[in-house]
Amino acid sequence: MQIPDAGAAVTSDIAVSGISGNAPATLKVDVNIVHTYRGDLLIDLVAPDGSTYRLKNSSTSDSADNVVATYTVNASTEVANGTWKLKVQDTYRQDTGYINSWKLTF
């Protein structure tokens, strides 16, 4: 999924089913985003009820390429089943990229 340069946020969805109860306090979010200036990116996890968990803030001093990382989120108040979203916004001009892949590990 392409991330618009200095544009609106995009979301990529994962539908979760078959898990009883809530998500864990140590929900793992693996992110693989190809981008020419990762400091441009603001990344959130959005739970099925719309709650937002910040994974990464944008930073003008982070000029490296790509975001390949695992984030741990305390999502224990969230029902596990439902549609989870990775929300990514490019906050500065000139560099571009796309969401290559992401996954949740319960």
Q: What's the whole-model pTM score?
A: 0.95
Distance from CA of residue 27 to its chain's centroid? 13
Confidence of residue 74 (pLDDT cuts 50, 70, 90): very high
- Mean pLDDT along residues 88-95: 95
- Mean pLDDT along residues 40-55: 98
Pick the CATH number of 2-105 from 2.60.120.260, 2.40.50.140, 3.40.50.300, 2.40.33.20: 2.60.120.260
Question: What proportion of the chain, given as a percentage, has pLDDT over 70?
Answer: 100
Structure tokens belonging to residue 88: 């990514």
Which of 35, 32, 28, 29 shows the shortest CA–CA distance to 4?
35
> For position 11, what pLDDT does the model report?
98
- Mean pLDDT along residues 68-86: 98
Question: What proportion of the chain, given as a percentage, has pLDDT over 90?
Answer: 98
